[in-house]
Structure 1
Amino acid sequence: MKYLVSILFLLFTFVGMAQEDEKKPTIEKPAFKIVKDTVILDGKKTVMTDTIYLDTQNEIKRSADEVLPQLDSLKTAPENNLLQKVNESYVLLDNQMAAEIDSLWLRELGGEELFDTIHKEISELKYEPVVYQELPTDTLKARLAELNAKTPFNIEYNPSLESVIRRFLKRRKKSMERLMKISQYYFPMFEQELANHNIPLEVKYLAIVESALNPRARSRVGATGLWQFMYQTGKMYDLNVSSYVDDRQDPEKSTVAACKYLASLYKIFGDWDLALAAYNSGPGNVSKAIRRSGGYENYWNIRSNLPRETAGYLPAFLATMYIFEYAEEHGFQVDKIEVPHFATDTIRVKQLLTFDQISEVLNVKVEDIQFFNPAYKLDIIPHIKGRDYALRLPVQEVGKFVNNEEAIYALAKEELAKREKPLPQLFEMDKRTRYRVRSGDYLGKIARRFGVRVSDIKRWNGLRSNRLRIGQRLTIYPKKPGFAAKKPSKKQKNISNAKTYTVKSGDSLWSIAQKFPGVSVKNIQKWNDIRGNKLKPGMKLKVSK
């Protein structure tokens, strides 16, 4: 009897385990998760991150190699190199669409507004005492001493630095949280290149001071990109600029160039504080400041003899470093980014492609393509003999592109051949347009749309703040292609004489645009107040102004 009970118990246990396995949920495709934990190492809190992978049985795997076979099994190449359309959109036979990237997040984080705000604050830094009860002076001194011990920068306490740190904590907490979020995309790439060139990893914070992590940032004197290269300096480090491409806006290329430039400056000055000052104002201004100060070679001793912006440059850098390093202690709330840099990949483009074509075929928003490929000024990836140009996309979209590559190129070539003018032209500054503010608009978003700066829009319209109201009319002189100037006196006439087109089954915005020379997808979207690419048969669209 005793043995019978034991056998029955074991039988029920195995049945229960089998039922649990049956109930265990499965997932449609492999996925990854980033795990973050805080541990105590040598008596200090340390944040540890790791990536775990889940296979289709929802089992945890420790490396991507273990789930690659399942990823490959999801790919199906199209037959006869033909792209299929379902519900008026192209559906590529590949692994299913990744979760939609939050375009509002991309626009907000990459906006010109934050860049303008940071640059203005650095150039106008004041060093009066700032009351901030959450950061006592003794606590700050202890933390700065910790930073000073583990970095090659001179991070000693002084009242001026305390004033800047407290001011940033008090006035720029939200901005810093936004920067901390987008830094998760750029910092791993920065750190790799900095390590390759034997440069302190803390230099990654320099890109925040330089550009607010906006790869399309442009200063009033023409410095461009994440690392704010001037044209001539960029040429010295193989950053080429053409009508279509600005390598200074390429995150990877500009980071390599910045590392080479910083390494050369350190060889000259032998001090990282002075190297950063020279990066901002030029080696000549730093050497003059050393002479004027009587031969001092410490940044804090020569600061009064540096240009005004450079005088606030290193304090802003050190304050940014402090805030990022002690973000947890100050209660910063930072969300995880939707698409980390390691979750993207590149494809070498074999013929000319436009962002509109890529967007339509892959069903990825143009704004997202712009975010991942900021070096292409006209939203066109050229194809020039002897040069390689790449398209960066989330890995899921790369797989679909590669599996349908021949069909995509064939479609693009066919559609470009139909165009009267296959390449858009830039509009001159004397062409003016009037823009009506819509719900969800802000100055950075509007500036991005027309290829201009926030400060330009404010100057053209006499705006003293960044506040807008729905329905407000703004005067804009667009630099981006696709925005033709409107003449207010002929506005009513243009509307009444506008041509219309009735959407048929199988039509797309791109195919409709090809039927009317000189009309682009963006034109149709703008004239008909369309934000996406979806159309319904029977819709009437304006196809002229």
Structure 2
Amino acid sequence: MKKRYRLGCALMLMTAVSLNAQKKSSNLETYEVSRTLPVVDTIELKEKLLLREQEIARSNTARKKQPFLYKEVEWDSTLQNLNDRKYAAKIDRLWMEELTNGSLYDSITALVDDTEYEDVDYPELTTKVLKERLAELDARTPFNVEYNPSLENVIKGYLKRHKPTLERLMGLSQFYFPGFEETLDKHNMPLELKYLAIVESALRPRAKSRVGATGMWQFMFNTGKLYGLDVSSYVDERMDPILSTEAAAQYLSKLYEIFDDWDLALASYNSGPGNVSKAIRRSGGRTNYWNIRHHLPRETAGYIPAFLATMYIFEYADEHGYHPAQPDVNYFETDTIRVKETITLQQVSAYTGVSLDEIQFLNPAYKLDVIPYLEDKEYYLRLPITAIGPFVANEENIYNTAKKELERDEKTLPQYLEVPSSVTYRVRSGDYLGKIASRYGVGVSQIKRWNNLRSNNLRIGQRLSLYPNKPVATSSSKGSSKSVTSSGEKKYVVQRGDSLWKIARKFPGVSAENLKVWNDISGTKLKPGMTLVIAN
């Protein structure tokens, strides 16, 4: 009896050790995911990875046995539509909405412009603790991170009033900061300069200021050209995160050579070296930023405090209880492909199964969602790593199909590429962005970008610059014209249980993405009774 008991205990102990070892192994394998999405079942994630590996294997086998089929490059979309993956799909969708949401740029712009220096009551952070932490930052960075009451009030104001905004920015930074740090390290520059992109643009590649500064690093047209950033009718490399970061590193390095002080270099990056030189003269030759701040433009006066406050909060996020949402660590593993023929981002989305929003996010430099092909210039398409293989394997067929589609669709795009012409549209009563976009065959986001619109609101008489994808019908147009006009629109009233996908299936040739563009819908929620415009 005792022998059996000892044997049973030994077996239980061995089982417990084995299970514990498996658990540790599992924790190591899924740490990054469980850290950010603790409710996701790790077994489900492993099943998803296994399904993807099996699908890739089947795709490769089929590719060897049969000629190219259009459906073959859509393998990834089937994974996204599995019923038992709804939670993962929801997480991906919400994260993509966060990445493409422009509200953060407005928030950070207001935050910098309206920086306040009055006393802020925030007992959670004492002056003594703040002084100690600022001294630590000063010791490990080349910036002048010195305590002063004004900086204390800015930091406490951010902590008290702007936690949601900064927490969202921390989540976004997980994707961009590794690339920033690599570039800054290559130029032997302080890695903390990465925080400058938050103050400049809230990490928005397509951010555009009131004066025309564009991209994450807010380059003006001439400065961008000076540092090798190509700006044309189709491409704006100021919006390319990699190229613009390289240019920003070169520009900041040059400014530091001039002023030999990072505070002054940052101030001149924002307002120009001339304004900083004037401020130094007006302050009697002083070169300390805090002494010349009152002689700088208003937005620059709040610039350095905003930068230092952002650096402090990011560096001490844990101490202040910040818990930013983060994407699945493998979600944005990407690679690039050199484009060999003209292709639109919409076509890439259709051929790869990757959502148009994600492709636009990964390729923000293509202003008109068209990647042109020029013999003397190389352009690249960035895709998730999972879509690279199918695209490369079917590259020739994809370009042939894309070319035929462009020739078939009224031959508007080739003409459009050769002679890019703009149209000035005057807003009338009853107009809205979705209606105007459908009429001219463009996207709502494009109209907003071309006209530097921060919201969807329009006023009667407002003039909009448009670059139409299709000709607009006039009184002399022939009956065979396929252009969209108000008389060619259909109306659909949303019923209970409807979704964009279900409604799109009712109308041949219409996609859910079309419905979102035509009706200026940013999300996927519909309300019964809503009237949707269906362009002809």
1:105 is matched by which residue type in structure 2? W
The corresponding residue for 2:301 is 311
Partner of 2:107: 117
Distance 1:496 1:413 in 2: 30
Choose which of 413, 419, 430 in structure 2 pairs with 1:422: 413
Query: Is structure 2 residue 243 aligned with structure 1 residue 253?
Result: yes
Deviates more, 1:236-245 or 1:90-99: 90-99
- Trace 1:1-12 onto structure 2 (pairs within 5 A): none
2:69 alignment counterpart: 83
Q: Is the 8 A contact 2:229 2:238 kept in 1?
A: yes
What SS class does the counterpart of residue 126 from structure 1 fall into?
Answer: coil
Report the alpha carbon displacement of residue 379 of structure 1 after superposing the two structures with TM.
0.6
Contact 1:447 / 1:457 at 8 angstroms: preserved in 2? no
Amino acid at match of 1:82: F
Q: Which residue of the partner structure matches residue 32 of structure 2?
A: 34
- CA distance in structure 1 between the aligned counterparts of 2:518 and 2:193, rounded to whole angstroms: 46
- Equivalent pair of 1:75/1:95 in contact (CA under 8 Å): no
SS of the residue 2:425 aligns to: coil
The Cα of 1:293 is off from its aligned counterpart by: 1.2
The answer to whether the Cα contact below 8 Å between 2:444 and 2:520 also exists between their aligned partners in 1 is no
What is the aligned partner in structure 2 of residue 162 from structure 1?
Answer: 152
Structure-2 change in CA distance of 1:55 and 1:498 (3 Å): closer
Give the aligned partner of residue 169 of structure 2: 179
In structure 2, how many angstroms separate the alpha carbons of the residues matched to 1:347 and 1:509?
Answer: 36
Tell me which residue corresponds to 1:435: 432
Say if 1:112 and 1:447, in contact at 8 Å, map to a contact too. Answer: no
Residue number among 340, 352, 358 corresponding to 1:362 in the alignment: 352
Indicate whether 1:208 and 2:198 are aligned: yes
For residues 115 and 357 of structure 1, the distance between their equivalents in structure 2, rounded to whole angstroms, comes to: 29
Cα gap change, 1:36/1:365 in structure 2, threshold over 3 Å: closer, same or farther?
closer
SS at match of 1:345: strand
Q: Given the alignment of the two structures, is residue 284 of structure 1 paired with residue 281 of structure 2, yes or no? A: no
Does the CA contact (< 8 Å) of 1:94 and 1:399 recur in 2? no
- Structure 2 CA distance, aligned partners of 1:125 and 1:529? 33
Deviation of 1:118 (Å): 1.8
Cα pair distance change 1:116/1:163, threshold 3 Å: same
Cα 1:240–1:107 change in 2 (3 A) is same
SS of alignment partner, residue 287 of structure 1: helix
| SS, match of residue 430 in structure 1 | strand
Within 2, Cα distance between the matches of 1:35 and 1:353? Answer: 35
**Change over 3 Å in CA distance of 1:495–1:314 after alignment to 2:** closer
Contact 1:285 1:306 in 2 (8 A): yes
2:291 alignment partner in structure 1:
301
In structure 1, the residue matched to 2:389 is 399
Instruction: Give the drift of 1:251.
Output: 0.3
Matched-pair contact (CA < 8 Å) for 1:194–1:201: yes
Shift of 1:400: 2.1
Q: Structure 1 length normalisation: TM-score? A: 0.73
Do the aligned partners of 2:425 and 2:466 also contact (CA within 8 Å) in 1? no
Name the aligned partner's letter for residue 432 of structure 1.
V
Shift of 1:343: 1.1
Distance 2:346 2:506 in 1: 10
Aligned to 1:241: 231
Identify the structure with the greater helix proportion: 2
Q: How much does 1:117 deviate? A: 2.6
**CA displacement at 1:110 relative to structure 2:** 3.8
Once residues 155 and 69 of structure 1 are traced to their aligned partners in structure 2, the CA distance between those partners, rounded to angstroms, is 50
Return the alpha-carbon distance in structure 2 between the equivalents of residues 212 and 486 of structure 1.
40
Q: Secondary structure at the match of 1:383?
A: coil
Per-residue CA deviation, residues 327-356 of structure 1 (Å, 9 max, x unaligned), is 111111112224668611111111111111
Q: 1:524/1:114 Cα in 2 relative to 1: closer, same or farther (>3 Å)? A: closer
Pair 1:368–1:308, CA change in 2 (3 A): same
Alpha-carbon distance in 2 for matches of 1:304, 1:480? 43
The CA distance in 2 between the partners of 1:324 and 1:370, in whole Å, is 28
- CA distance in structure 2 between the aligned counterparts of 1:72 and 1:523, rounded to whole angstroms: 30
Q: 1:102 aligns with which of 92, 95, 98?
A: 92
AA in 1 matched with 2:399: Y
Question: Which residue is 1:536 aligned to?
Answer: none
User: Size of the alignment, in residue pairs?
Assistant: 469
Structure with greater proportional strand content: 1
Computed over aligned residues only, the root mean square deviation of the Cα atoms, in angstroms, reads 4.6
1:293-332: CA deviations, max 9, x gaps? Answer: 1111111111111111111110000000011011111111
Return 5+ residue gaps in structure 1 as ranges: 38-53, 60-67, 439-444, 463-473, 488-492, 501-506, 514-519, 534-540
Residue 137 of structure 2 is matched in structure 1 by: 147
Match of 2:312 among 322, 340, 345: 322
1:393 aligned counterpart, secondary structure: strand
Equivalent pair of 1:509/1:521 in contact (CA under 8 Å):
no
Cα drift, residue 145 of structure 1: 1.1
Structure 2 counterpart of 1:354, one-letter code: T
| Compared CA separation, residues 225 and 117, structure 1 to 2 (3 A) | same
Q: Is the 8 A contact 1:431 1:478 kept in 2?
A: no
Q: Does 1:337 align with 2:327?
A: yes
**Aligned counterpart, 2:500:** none
The percentage of counterpart residues that share the same residue type is: 48
| Higher normalized contact order (CA 8 Å, seq sep 6+, divided by chain length) | 1
Q: Is contact 1:112-1:448 (8 Å) kept? A: no
**Superposed CA offset, 1:112-157 (max 9, x none):** 3321232233223221111112111111111111111111111111
Equivalent residues of 1:75, 1:93 under 8 A apart: no
Using the alignment, how far apart are the partners of 1:124 and 1:179 within structure 2? 19
Contact 1:83 1:92 in 2 (8 A): no
Equivalent residue for 2:216?
A: 226
| Matched position secondary structure for 1:388 | coil
Contact preservation (8 Å) 2:76, 2:387: no
Does structure 1 residue 195 correspond to structure 2 residue 190? Answer: no
Matches for 1:476-487 after TM superposition, within 5 Å: 477=464, 479=466, 481=468
Q: Which amino acid aligns with 2:348?
A: I
Q: How far apart in 2 are the matches of 1:259 and 1:221? A: 22
Give the match for residue 123 of structure 2: 133
AA of the residue aligned to 1:83: L
Alpha-carbon shift at residue 480 of structure 1 (Å): 6.5
Instruction: Say whether the 8 Å CA contact 1:75–1:403 is kept in structure 2.
Output: no
Unaligned runs of 5+ in 2: 36-41, 436-442, 475-483, 492-503, 525-531
